[in-house]
């Protein structure tokens, strides 16, 4: 492995943390802007609007591992710069979109950029930081993503007051500054021995499978759940997914290495993260839609309403790290998942037609945020502990991929459960079903988390995706 002479590790950390901040900021901002985007494009139905989130998550999930390996082969700094530039340019194009499907297309390009910059930024950070300072550097890098999650709802609400397009334009100055700074201060890093080409066709198969399943879910109410269109779409999804798995077993550099799933901690962590992410995505969007569509909150007020949850994530992730010396990581994660489920059930039982955020929404939302803080950083940090060092980066990317797949299913299930009710009773019932499904995902994740290694000491470095 070769690299350029080391520059200041602090400068490298600042540049890479800025890029992580930008990529993470996008998730919460777009959720808050959802209603305004739909209204601007002719009151687009939520089934179509969901692709603004799902298109990004599907491509990000499928491209993360192959693009990370391409960067390993041809140069991680070059991969990081290309990913950062693409994400920034695509953000500007999203802001300029004059139709929903144009916006979805540029969101897909954003996802390609994110899939390149995320794994390469971690690798570059590790390479540029002395061994004794790596753990602290990774925690700071992770904290930048967590800070973006906490600031995103409020920033998004402020920007949407003027225009939803600003939630994408805000990435331009951040991206340009990060790009210029990376060119100057981030050293190159590449493997001296080139690995085999990644399975790009397999990645396309995975994207098709996830996309087909999401399409069947979000269009089930329109097409009819027993219609030929839904049945054929689901059959195509299953067949493509089976072909993908068979291909992964025989390809030299597959998207998912089957051997990794034979590692107990890694396998259970992936199940837990997938189930957890279904509930997380469904609950986040459900709360935003309830506050805006039922209670009539503005985007700014919605952003302020969402903000306490991510703040609890920051606090409780620190508590989880401190108690990991005395309680097994599986139990910590299970407790967190259970708290998430209880928070979702609390909102299901308490939220009503007349707005009362402090008594109806906030208690459950704080409980949910606390649960995320205990569960998600713990699951992400321990997932790759049992893997060989040479497979830790790939394993981390696979876990992140599972998180994105779970998000797609969560949003799609939410759309399917909300339906098209024109009265409050039907709408309320749809949201109650959505919160129930989210709680079920959290409880399933809790049981899966108990299957993780009973190692008592979690890794000290938490991935950025814990935000």
Residue 33 in this model has a pLDDT that exceeds 60: yes
Confidence category of residue 156, pLDDT binned at 50, 70, 90 = confident
Stretch 351-358: mean pLDDT, rounded?
94
Distance CA 386, CA 415 (A): 37
- In this prediction, residue 192 carries a pLDDT of 57
The terminus-to-terminus CA distance of the chain in angstroms comes to 31
- Asked if pLDDT for residue 201 goes beyond 50, the answer is yes
**Can you give the pLDDT at residue 122?**
79
Distances from the Cα of 52 to the Cαs of 19, 58, 333, 348, 377, in angstroms?
A: 21, 11, 30, 26, 26
- At 463, the pLDDT band (50, 70, 90 cuts) reads very low
Residues 6+ apart with CB under 8 A from 187: 3, 4, 5, 6, 7, 12, 77, 124, 127, 128
Between 184 and 96, the higher pLDDT residue:
96
Structure tokens at 453: 């290694």
More confident residue, 44 or 192: 44
Taking alpha carbons only, the member of 60, 45, 136, 185 closest to residue 460 is 136
How far is 1 from 122, CA to CA, in rounded Å?
Answer: 16
Q: What share of the chain is helix, strand, coil (3-state, %, to 5)?
A: 80, 0, 20
Q: Are 206 and 122 in contact (CB under 8 A)?
A: no
Higher pLDDT, 103 or 315: 103
Q: Which residue has the higher pLDDT, 295 or 143?
A: 295
State how far the Cα of 210 lies from the Cα of 50, in Å rounded to an integer: 14
Structure tokens at 250: 């025989």
How far is 373 from 319, CA to CA, in rounded Å? 8
pTM for this structure? Answer: 0.88
Length of the chain: 467
- pLDDT band, residue 429 (cuts 50/70/90): very high
């Amino acid at each position: 492995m070769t690299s350029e002479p080391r520059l200041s590790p602090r400068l490298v950390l600042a540049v890479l943390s800025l890029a992580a901040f930008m990529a993470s900021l996008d998730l919460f901002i777009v959720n808050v802007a959802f209603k305004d985007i739909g209204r601007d494009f002719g009151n687009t139905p939520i089934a179509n609007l969901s692709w603004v989130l799902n298109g990004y998550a599907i491509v990000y999930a499928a491209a993360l591992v192959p693009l990370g390996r391409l960067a390993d082969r041809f140069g991680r700094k070059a991969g990081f710069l290309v990913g950062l530039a693409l994400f920034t340019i695509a953000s500007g194009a999203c802001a300029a979109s004059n139709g929903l499907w144009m916006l979805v297309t540029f969101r897909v390009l954003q996802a390609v950029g994110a899939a390149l910059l995320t794994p390469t930024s971690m690798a570059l950070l590790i390479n540029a930081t002395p061994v004794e300072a790596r753990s602290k550097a990774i925690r700071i890098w992770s904290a930048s993503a967590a800070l973006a999650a906490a600031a995103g709802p409020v920033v998004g609400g402020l920007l949407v007051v003027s225009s939803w397009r600003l939630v994408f334009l805000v990435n331009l100055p951040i991206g340009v500054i990060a790009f210029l700074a990376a060119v100057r201060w981030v050293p190159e890093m590449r493997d001296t021995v080139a690995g085999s080409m990644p399975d790009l066709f397999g990645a396309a198969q995975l994207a098709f499978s996830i996309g087909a399943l999401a399409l069947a879910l979000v269009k089930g109410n329109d097409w009819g759940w027993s219609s030929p269109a839904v049945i054929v779409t689901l059959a195509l999804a299953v067949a493509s997914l089976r072909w993908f798995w068979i291909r992964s077993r025989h390809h030299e550099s597959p998207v998912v290495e089957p051997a990794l799933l034979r590692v107990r901690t890694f396998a259970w962590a992936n199940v837990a993260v997938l189930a957890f992410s279904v509930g997380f995505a469904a609950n986040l969007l459900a709360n935003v839609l309830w506050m805006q569509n039922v209670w009539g909150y503005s985007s700014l007020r919605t952003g302020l309403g969402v903000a306490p949850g991510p703040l609890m994530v920051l606090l409780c992730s620190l508590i989880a790290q401190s108690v990991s010396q005395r309680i097994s990581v599986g139990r910590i994660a299970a407790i967190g998942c259970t708290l998430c489920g209880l928070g979702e059930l609390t909102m299901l039982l308490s939220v009503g037609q007349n707005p009362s955020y402090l008594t109806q929404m906030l208690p459950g939302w704080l409980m949910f945020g606390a649960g995320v803080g205990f569960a998600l950083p713990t699951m992400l940090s321990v997932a790759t502990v049992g893997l060989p060092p040479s497979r830790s980066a790939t394993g981390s990317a696979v876990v992140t991929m599972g998180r994105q797949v779970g998000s797609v299913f969560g949003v799609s299930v939410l759309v399917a459960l909300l339906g098209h009710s024109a009265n409050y009773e039907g709408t309320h019932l749809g949201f109650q079903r959505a919160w129930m499904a989210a709680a079920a995902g959290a409880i399933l994740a809790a049981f899966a988390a108990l299957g993780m290694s009973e190692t008592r000491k979690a890794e000290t470095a938490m991935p950025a995706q814990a935000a």
